[in-house]
Amino acid sequence: MRNKLHFRVSRIVTLGAIAFALVASVISYVRTQSDEFELMRKALEQLFSTVQRNAEIAAYLDSKDLAEEVVDSLSGNDIVSGVMLSSINGMVITSSWEDSDAGALRFPLYTPFPAFEQIGEVKIQMNEALLDSRVLKSAFEQMLILIILIAVISILILVLVLRVLTYPVQSIAANLHRIAPGDDNSLHCPKGHEEDEIGNLVNDINKLLQSARYTIKQEQFLRNRVENLEKHFRLIFERASAGIFLLDRHFHLNSINQAFKDIAGIAMKERRADKLKIYFPDLFYDVAVVRNLLEEVLKTGKQAACDLRLATLTTGGERWLHCLFSIVKNDDGDSLIEGLVIDVTERTFEMERILFESQHDALTQLLNRRAGEQRLDEMIRNANRSGSQILLMLIDLDGFKIINDSYGHEAGDKVLVEVSRRMQSIIRKEDILIRLGGDEFVIGFPIKDGGIDESEQVVNKLQQQLTTEIVLGDGLPVAIGASIGIALFPRDGTDLGSLMAHADNAMYQMKKQREKPVKKLLLLP
C-alpha cells in the first residue's frame, strides 16, 4: 500500500513537471524566435544604413558597378541570404536572390537631393536557417535549464509531499486499520502536525471513532434489549394459557401457540392430522357464521368478540371458545387477522345452568312462574299477530295436602315430580308447562286451525293421568285428583292477566263441585 502511494505521488509529480516543461518550452521557443527575429531585423537595418548613401547614388545614376558593389557588400553578411537593388528606370541587381520575396525587408531609396523622391528600392532576405539555428540553440539552452530547474523543484516537492503529507497520512491510515470497531483506542497526531490540516483530520477521525463506539454500544444495548423482549414475548406466546393465532387474508392459520393447539384440539390425531394449512372456520360448528364474521372484521378493520362452538370431536363433548379478532399489518402492509381464544366451555355450561335454574323449578324442572309468564306473553303476542287461538289451563292438585301431611314432604315432592312427568308426556313441544308454585300448574296450548277437538283430547288425557294412582315407597299407592280451569284466547281475554283470572275463576267453580275424579269442562259454552 505504501509503495503504491509513493508511485502515485511520484507519477503525478513527474507528469505535472513534464507537462509544465513542455508548455514552458513551447512558450520559450516562440518568444526566443520573436526576439531573434527582431534582433536580426535591427541588425539588417543597421547594415543597410552603412550602404544606404551608395545605394541611393547607384539608383539615381543607374550605375550597375556601384549597385553591384552595394549588393555584394550586403550579401557578404551572414545574416543576409539574398539582396535585390532596383531603380525606377528598370535597373535590377541581385545576389543569391530567391524568387519569392515573402518575408524580405524593404528599404526605399530616395534622391540624394532635397527633393526626396523615391528612385528605387533595396530588398534584403533574412537568413532563416541562421535564425532557426540561433532560435533552436537558445530555446534548447533555456529548456535544458528549465528542465533541470523543474526536476530539482519536482524532487523537492515530492520529498516535501512525502514528508509533510504522504507519510503522516500513511501513518494515520495504518493506525486506523489497527483499531477494531468499538475499541476505546484513538489516533495519535503525527509530530509537528498538531495545528495544521492533518491535526484537524486526526481530531475529526477521533470524533468519528468516538461516535462510532457510542453507536455500536447503543446498537448492542438495543440488540440485547430486543433479544430479551423477543425471548420474553416468545415465552408469553408459547406459554400463555390463552390461545393466540394469526390468520392470512384467506383465513388460513399462519402461526399458533401451544395453548391454541390444545384448546382447539389441533394436536389431536383425530382432527386434521394430515392437513398442513388449516382453514380456521373449519374448526367450528357453524363454518358460515365464522367466515362471515372474519370477512366483516377484515372489511371494517374493527375488533370483534363472540363465543363460538367448536366442531364436534370424535371423542365427543361440546366445547365453546371465546374469540377476539383484530386487524394487524405485516411489514408489507398486508392486513392479517390476529386472534385470541379462551376455552369458556365450563363458563358456558355454568351460565346455561344458572340460566336454566333461574327459569325452572328446582324440584320438577318445569318453567317457573317468572320465566313461564314471559313465555306465555310471547305466545300471546305471536297468536295475536297470526290471528290464532290459545288454550290456557290452570291446574290445582286435589288431595295433595293430605298426602303431604300424612306421608311427609318427601312423599309430596315425589308426587309433584311424577305429576310433572305425566303432564310432560302429554303436551307437545310447542306447548308451555309451568309450575306456578306449590301444587299449581299452568299449560299454554296453541290451537291450530280446527284444533278444538285436539285440545279436548289433551284435557281428557290430562284428567286420566292425574286420576291414576301414584305408587310411593314400599309400594304404597296414593290417589290424587285435580281441578282444572280453562280460558281461551282471545275469547276469554286478550292478555295473560285476564286469561289467568278467567281460568282461576273456572277452577274455583270446579273445586266447589267437589267431584272426584275431575269432571270434564267443555271448551265451548
pLDDT digit string, tens, across residues 40-53: 888 888 888 888 88
CA distances from 242 to 90, 284, 312, 509 (A): 133, 17, 21, 63
Q: 324, 350, 376: which is the final residue of a domain?
A: 350
What does the pLDDT read at residue 271? 47
* pLDDT tops 90 at residue 433: yes
pLDDT in tens, 446-485: 987 655 667 778 888 888 888 888 888 777 888 888 888 9
380 and 495 co-located in one domain: yes
Q: How far apart are CA 461 and CA 427, in angstroms?
A: 10
Query: Hey, what amino acid is at 457?
Result: Q
Percent of the chain with pLDDT over 70: 86
User: Using alpha carbons only, what angle is made at residue 150 by residues 144 and 155, rounded to the nearest 5 degrees?
Assistant: 130
> How many beta carbons lie within 10 A of that of residue 500, not counting itself?
19
Yes or no: say if 87 and 120 are a contact pair by the CB < 8 Å rule. yes
What does the pLDDT read at residue 140? 77
What mean pLDDT is predicted for residues 5-18? 65
Looking at residue 312, the DSSP 8-state letter turns out to be P
What residues contact residue 344 under an 8 Å CB cut-off, 6+ apart?
307, 320, 321, 322
* pLDDT tops 70 at residue 24: yes
The structural domain count of the chain equals 3
Q: How far apart are CA 488 and CA 388, in angstroms?
A: 11
Question: 5 or 402, which is more confident?
Answer: 402
What residues contact residue 242 under an 8 Å CB cut-off, 6+ apart?
259, 340, 341, 342
259 and 297 co-located in one domain: yes
Sign of CA dihedral 259, 263, 269, 273: negative
Q: Classify residue 23: in a domain, yes or no.
A: yes
402 and 314 co-located in one domain: no
CA distances from 374 to 355, 377, 381 (A): 14, 5, 11
The CA-based diameter of the chain, rounded to the nearest angstrom, is 197
302 and 381 co-located in one domain: no
Q: Classify residue 168: in a domain, yes or no.
A: no
495 and 435 co-located in one domain: yes
What does the pLDDT read at residue 317? 64
Looking at residue 416, the DSSP 8-state letter turns out to be H
What mean pLDDT is predicted for residues 374-378? 94
Question: 255 or 317, which is more confident?
Answer: 255
Structural domain including 29 reads 2-133
322 and 448 co-located in one domain: no
Model-level pTM greater than 0.85? no
Strand, coil or helix: 442: strand
Mean pLDDT is lowest, of 17-21, 31-35, 312-316, 395-399, for 312-316
Q: What is the DSSP string of 316-375?
A: ----EEEEEEEEEE-TT--EEEEEEEEE-HHHHHHHHHHHHHHHB-TTT-SB-HHHHHHH
Percent of the chain with pLDDT over 90: 15
20 and 101 co-located in one domain: yes
Looking at residue 285, the DSSP 8-state letter turns out to be S
Q: Classify residue 507: in a domain, yes or no.
A: yes
Mean pLDDT (the chain) is 80
What residues contact residue 57 under an 8 Å CB cut-off, 6+ apart?
63, 66, 112
Cα 143 from chain centroid (whole Å): 70
What mean pLDDT is predicted for residues 169-191? 75
What does the pLDDT read at residue 500? 93
What does the pLDDT read at residue 394? 93
CATH number at residue 111: 3.30.450
Strand, coil or helix: 168: helix
* pLDDT tops 70 at residue 55: yes
Q: Classify residue 248: in a domain, yes or no.
A: yes
State phi, psi for 421 to the nearest 5 degrees: -60, -40
Grid cell in block for residue 244: 393466540
Q: Classify residue 33: in a domain, yes or no.
A: yes
Grid cell in block for residue 392: 290456557
What does the pLDDT read at residue 276? 55
The continuous run of DSSP H or E covering 132 comes out as: helix 128-161
Grid cell in block for residue 422: 305425566
Looking at residue 279, the DSSP 8-state letter turns out to be B
Q: How far apart are CA 444 and CA 372, in angstroms?
A: 9
pLDDT in tens, 83-109: 888 888 888 888 877 777 767 888 888
Q: 287, 319, 350: which is the final residue of a domain?
A: 350
The continuous run of DSSP H or E covering 434 comes out as: strand 432-437
Q: Classify residue 204: in a domain, yes or no.
A: no
Q: Classify residue 421: in a domain, yes or no.
A: yes
* pLDDT tops 80 at residue 380: yes
What mean pLDDT is predicted for residues 127-131? 76
What mean pLDDT is predicted for residues 172-190? 75
400 and 483 co-located in one domain: yes
329 and 435 co-located in one domain: no
371 and 460 co-located in one domain: yes
The continuous run of DSSP H or E covering 478 comes out as: strand 477-478
Q: Classify residue 113: in a domain, yes or no.
A: yes
CATH number at residue 287: 3.30.450.20
247 and 332 co-located in one domain: yes
Query: Hey, what amino acid is at 471?
Result: V
- The residue length of the chain stands at 525
Q: 350, 375, 393: which is the final residue of a domain?
A: 350
Question: 443 or 170, which is more confident?
Answer: 443
The continuous run of DSSP H or E covering 83 comes out as: strand 80-87
CATH number at residue 477: 3.30.70.270
375 and 346 co-located in one domain: no
Q: Which of 334, 336, 286 is nearest to 306 (CA)?
A: 286
List residues bridging with 308 in a β-sheet: 321
